[in-house]
Amino acid sequence: MFSNLEQTFRWFGPSDAVTLAAIRQTGATGIVNALHHIPCGDIWSLEEIKLRDDMIKAAGMRWSVVESVNIHESIKTGTKQRDEYIEKYIITLKNLSEAGIKTVCYNFMPVLDWTRTNIDFRLPNNASALRYHAPAVAAFDLYILERENAFNDFTPQQQQDAKTYLDSISAEEKGRLVNTVMAGLPGTGEVLTIDEFKDHLKKYAETDAKALKENLAYFLKAIIPDAEGLGIKMCIHPDDPPFPIFGLPRVVSTEKDLLDVVNACPSVSNGITFCTGSLGARADNDLPGIVNRLGTHIHFLHLRNVQREPGGSFYEADHLNGSSDMYAVMKNVILEQKKRLESGRDDIAIPMRPDHGHKLLDDFNYSTYPGYSIIGRLKGLAELRGLEMGIKRSII
């Protein structure tokens, strides 16, 4: 029998209402963390990294994965300053490596990280989930942001649904929608104003999907040789949702996109964060098949489930239920571990985390980052580790 997946849990740092002591009780042994207080693009000093690492060690766990060292917008849009930011990025990687932290997650989504329209969507049992409601996004785009040419991106039916949705919500709900959509990077309390968002959009006027993909390849070619030398495994996180929104391109949404990423600079250091929740929002993403075909590049697993709804909407379901077949995904992950063992690789214990969780029970008494409640995630982790054990014992 080979080693299990490494059970990890995301922690947002000392300001997180979920403490390291609480996380330890979930059974997780690894922490997924970032220095969220350092502005995107700035170097993470060795001192700051060590300070954080010491906190995690003192709590009896290890800092397994950095999620994320975010990519400066100039790298995504390919401006003149990008080389300067790439140099800084590499210094951060050097410092992380020196501190012994070797798995680094990042994403290449323009301007916004993940996007939801409702962070308190009640399920029949009154648990609270996150939801992406396509008519709400369209309403925001067409009638609140009033983006130029936005009407071209929606069918007459979608425009009508957006209007109906907008007319049905109160002023307060409208304010909540704006705040939810404009929430910036996870781990920060930052919310963009509409004007700031419009300024960001302008910067993408010249950057279509083709250019964004080229800029990603440029970034990879620049950093991967250093990452490889440092023993760092980079793992790109897919787009969430995995399709373009607000006229912004998205280039890490499908299996083909992931293949383009790994082929842009072949190296063990150029890998993937396999996020079932992000990729699973598209019915045409064959999740178990992706693990089967691209498993060798997977350095980090985000396991959660979405329930797809008609018209591109979805909400976050229980970890084992929803539109994606978590059994089939887990089975192929275990088969990937077996392949690694047989080929002499030593990265069998792929770090995985229960991605997001519902708000349940006592979770309502804490203010946590949307999706990052403790009990909801503990439930997800417990289910996933049981699934892993059951499958492993029956097939190995």
DSSP secondary structure, 166-230, as one string: HHHS-HHHHHHHHHHHTB-STTS--B--HHHHHHHHHHTTT--HHHHHHHHHHHHHHHHHHHHHH
Spatial distance between the Cα atoms of 340 and 30, rounded to a whole number of angstroms: 21
186 vs 312 by CB, closer to ligand DNO: 186
Rg for the chain (alpha carbons), in Å? 20
Q: Please state the closest distance from residue 342 (CB atom) to ligand DNO, in A.
A: 31
Place of tokens 């050097």: 94
Q: Please state the closest distance from residue 26 (CB atom) to ligand DNO, in A.
A: 17
102 vs 340 by CB, closer to ligand DNO: 102
**Which tokens hold the place of 296?**
């060798």
186 vs 295 by CB, closer to ligand DNO: 186
Backbone angles phi, psi at 4, to 5 degrees: -75, 170
CA 284 → CA 107, 237, 321, distances in Å? Answer: 21, 18, 18
Q: Which of 355, 358, 363, 369 is catalytic?
A: 355
Active site includes 302?
yes
Active site includes 237?
yes
Active site includes 161?
no
**Measured on CA atoms in the order 175, 181, 182, 187, is the torsion positive or negative?**
positive
Q: Which of 89, 132, 369, 372 is catalytic?
A: 372
Q: Please state the closest distance from residue 282 (CB atom) to ligand DNO, in A.
A: 16
DSSP letter at 71 equals P
DSSP secondary structure, 2-57, as one string: -PPPEEEEE---TT-SS-HHHHHHTT--EEEE--TTSPTTS---HHHHHHHHHHHH
Q: Please state the closest distance from residue 36 (CB atom) to ligand DNO, in A.
A: 11
Active site includes 275?
yes
150 vs 301 by CB, closer to ligand DNO: 301
Spatial distance between the Cα atoms of 102 and 230, rounded to a whole number of angstroms: 8
Spatial distance between the Cα atoms of 277 and 308, rounded to a whole number of angstroms: 10
277 vs 312 by CB, closer to ligand DNO: 277
Q: Please state the closest distance from residue 138 (CB atom) to ligand DNO, in A.
A: 22
Place of tokens 């502005």: 39
Q: Which of 105, 356, 363, 369 is catalytic?
A: 356
What is the maximum alpha-carbon separation in the chain?
A: 60
Active site includes 356?
yes
Q: Please state the closest distance from residue 204 (CB atom) to ligand DNO, in A.
A: 18
Q: Which of 275, 299, 319, 363 is catalytic?
A: 275
Q: Please state the closest distance from residue 205 (CB atom) to ligand DNO, in A.
A: 24
Q: Binding residues for ligand DNO, per CB under 6 A?
A: 67-68, 105-107, 113-114, 186, 237, 302, 355-356, 371
Active site includes 105?
no
Q: Which of 36, 72, 133, 237 is catalytic?
A: 237
158 vs 254 by CB, closer to ligand DNO: 254
**Which tokens hold the place of 168?**
């049905």
Residue type present at position 104: V
- CA dihedral of residues 109, 111, 116, 118 (deg, nearest 10): 170
204 vs 300 by CB, closer to ligand DNO: 300
77 vs 273 by CB, closer to ligand DNO: 273
Q: Please state the closest distance from residue 76 (CB atom) to ligand DNO, in A.
A: 13
**What is the end-to-end Cα distance of the chain in Å, rounded?**
7
Q: Which residues contact 331 (CB under 8 A, 6 or more apart)?
A: 288, 391, 395
User: Catalytic site residues?
Assistant: 237, 275, 302, 355-356, 372
